[in-house]
Amino acid sequence: MEPMASPDNLTPFVVRHRRTIPRIATLLGGLAVLLAFSCTRAETSTLVGSWWDAQGQSVTEKQALDRLRDAPVILLGEVHDSPPIHRRQLELLDAFNGPVLLALEQLDLGGDGRIERLNDESFQNGRARAQAVGFDQDGWGWDHYGPLFDWATERRAPLWPLNLSREKAMAVAMADGTGWLDELDANARAWVDEIAPELSLPTEQQRGLVEVLEQSHCQEIPSAMSSRMVRAQVARDVLMAKAIMGARKAYPDHQIVAVMGNEHARLDRGVGYWLAQLAEEARLDVMSIGMVPINQLSDAAGLDDAFDLRVVMPAVDRPDPCAQARESRKGE
């Protein structure tokens, strides 16, 4: 992985916000886990396993799968630490009829022959394939993602990296002014300049993403840092869109299934949004799936614009991430 850049003003910033920086790094590694950290309400009539369309109407699984089988590109959202979601991903992959290319947020972009190594046909198992490109088995969790590597290897399905590395994303967030441009290679800069020259979203979408960032950091990050972190998130989404375009060009006869966090998979402010900003003749036919735990359905209607289809998944049971922060504030 590339070394993390050190802008001139990074040291005083770290001193001023030393309690915030570790949370920033954690977020940049896994922001997409978060549709909401707060306690949320689910409609009692919403059942785990149910499917919903963009109009908020219930659809059968057969209807959902029929739509998905016809989609050239699928953004398959997830919550990274949900075993039921990972099992469901494999079931969906098995339901597709034609050849599939599996693109992964969990694989970093790189111009060092990484794609060629990923798709060397000599690999006998998924672990060897993952190790060949330095997949972070401990950070992402082999129990969660090993089955995807195994699935692709058993079926001789191409794999494709999607993500800006954590180090690069951190450098983009920390850079002053337009210094973040120096953290991107020439091809990435040209792509960003075409569809997102400021690495920002329209006002409403930008505000929504800022709220997610601040909520995930227990309202403890300064607003100036929120905007920097949004810039890094947008950079990742924009470059994931670019990677998907590259995968489609390289494998035009394959259905592209791009596995990424729910936040990245959104149509209103994630990868789907940026794919829609392309010139009309370059746009892809994309469908987005949100695999949303039932305890993160804070407002089902509010998610309608985010995905073409949502499937309600079992609750993710994790400790309250803000409990320690609240206790710390009590002692101040």
Q: pLDDT per position in the chain (332 positions), as tens?
A: 333 332 333 223 333 333 344 444 444 544 433 333 333 334 445 799 999 999 989 999 999 999 999 999 999 999 999 999 999 999 999 999 899 999 999 999 987 789 999 999 999 999 999 999 999 999 999 999 999 999 999 999 999 999 999 999 999 999 998 899 999 999 999 999 999 999 999 999 999 999 888 887 787 778 778 889 999 999 999 999 999 999 999 999 999 999 999 999 999 999 999 999 998 989 999 999 999 999 888 644 457 789 999 999 999 988 877 877 666 666 55
Structure confidence at residue 284 (pLDDT): 94
Structure confidence at residue 331 (pLDDT): 58
Structure confidence at residue 14 (pLDDT): 32
Structure confidence at residue 95 (pLDDT): 95
Tokens standing for residue 310: 């949502």
Q: Tell me the Ramachandran region of residue 219: left when phi exceeds 0, alpha when psi lies from -120 to 50, beta otherwise.
A: left
All structural domains of the chain: 10-330 (3.40.50.11550)
Structure confidence at residue 19 (pLDDT): 39
Structure confidence at residue 227 (pLDDT): 86
Structure confidence at residue 153 (pLDDT): 97
Identify which of 162, 10, 155, 147 has the alpha carbon closest to the alpha carbon of residue 75: 162
